[in-house]
Amino acid sequence: MVFLPQEVIVRKRDGEALAAADIAAFIAGFARGTVSEAQAAAFAMAVYFRDMSMDERVALTLAMRDSGNVLDWSGLDGPVADKHSTGGVGDNVSLMLAPLLAAIGIYVPMISGRGLGHTGGTLDKFDAIPGYETGPDEALFRRVVREAGCAIIGQTADLAPADKALYAIRDVTGTVDSIPLITASILSKKLAAGLDALVLDVKTGSGAFMTTPEKSRALAQSLVAVANGAGLPTAALITDMNQPLASAAGNGLEMRNAVDFLAGRHADPRLREVTLALGARIALMTGKAATPDAARRLLDAALDSGRALERFALMVAGLGGPADFTQHLDRYLAPAPIVRDVMAPGDGVVARIDTRAVGMAVVVLGGGRKTPSDAIDHRVGFDRLAGLGARVDGNTPIARLHAADEAAAAEAAARLRAAYMLGETAPEHELIAGRIGPG
């Protein structure tokens, strides 16, 4: 029987449940070019308004996975795992977590993305390292995973290509924030990476795409249910993004923050807790530890011994970066021309932070993109960011600004001050607001 993509669109438009075979045929046709971009856009809009059942979400995710290659790591001598974050400000967890897991015998082939809107992208952070190749061929990717235990790269052309094409359509048709489509987009790449386990960091709060606990939990539940339904053991943590996670926001500054973390020079407490919580969940799921306490001890030892830092250095060198990068950050991370403090907007306690606005201040500095073709300035951003509950006055810095020119510095400083709201007390936001899934 001839497959007609418009019939799939009509059935979903009218609220019907789609058969897995029809979803698979539609996505396969889109990947081959026999389903047009207009039809894919109509399908995305129908899903946006009519939603999908969990069975349909699993089918869509598997169809997008199967639009390209699926990696096989069966030759490795340990489990293969990964982590995904839904995005935030000062969220550089991947930079520490991948080598930390590698240091305890878990291989991490991490497929990451670039910044989106106000959020920083993991690949943009690695672009701050001279020579680091975020788009290696598969042979180099496999070699670095095998030798360093981890490799953080971008999505290759043959991993879930239907996702990349469909996302570009969603981005210009107002269908990005659909939970079924977000779920399939995230998980199709992770399933294609050939993992044994996955942990998800679903953000909630003023700097998250899902700003309310209800929306964040709905996304986390969808991701966990679909991933496990597709055969990938997956758990999720719902973590707070009502303030930047690290005390730095900006690509080179977050890279420096991460290396300092791994080297034991400085670790922001909230950042450390989220990193270790995610790592512990993976350690439990892969059988590297039998209890949460044992998992934390294992991870602490990998950090304290310097093994995680060694794995990070091996990854950087393996992917073309300097072999002595972690030892000579000042040599390789160029400073911004303008570095100065941003003072608090008044007297009181930092009671609320518009974290999205902090991220947009980094974009204004050139540390993010206004359009997809914009170049990133890896030097710019903020460090020494004050957190909720900090007591300040007009002479207290709330951050140190790193800027390329005076005009951008002035606008970003004004935006940052406006993002910090003062009061008598600060509300408490639970750092890990929920845990979903096995482990």
- DSSP per-residue string spanning 385-429: ---TT-EE-TTSEEEEEEESSHHHHHHHHHHHHHHEEEES-----
Q: Is the dihedral of CA 403, 404, 410, 412 positive or negative?
A: negative
- Is 188 one of the catalytic residues? no
84, 114, 142, 217: the active-site residue: 84
57, 164, 170, 281: the active-site residue: 170
Q: Provide CB contacts within 8 A for 269, sequence distance 6+.
A: none
185, 188, 222, 247: the active-site residue: 185
Q: Phi, psi at residue 179, to the nearest 5°?
A: -60, -45
- Is 215 one of the catalytic residues? no
DSSP state of 120: -
Amino acid at 190: K
Amino acid at 14: D
118, 190, 311, 378: the active-site residue: 190
- Is 122 one of the catalytic residues? yes
Count Cα atoms within 13 angstroms, Cβ side, for 249: 35
Give the tokens for residue 416.
């940052």
Residue with tokens 């020079």: 265
- Is 185 one of the catalytic residues? yes
- Is 240 one of the catalytic residues? no
66, 82, 127, 268: the active-site residue: 82
Residue 190 and residue 235 in contact, taking contact as beta carbons nearer than 8 Å: no
- Is 67 one of the catalytic residues? no
57, 65, 83, 356: the active-site residue: 83
Beta-bridge partner residues of 112: 154
Residue 275 and residue 285 in contact, taking contact as beta carbons nearer than 8 Å: no
12, 22, 66, 85: the active-site residue: 85
12, 118, 125, 189: the active-site residue: 189
**CA distances for 381 relative to 158, 364, 384, 403, angstroms:** 34, 9, 11, 7
- Is 94 one of the catalytic residues? no
Amino acid at 46: A
86, 112, 122, 275: the active-site residue: 122
List residues with catalytic annotation: 82-85, 122, 170, 185, 189-190
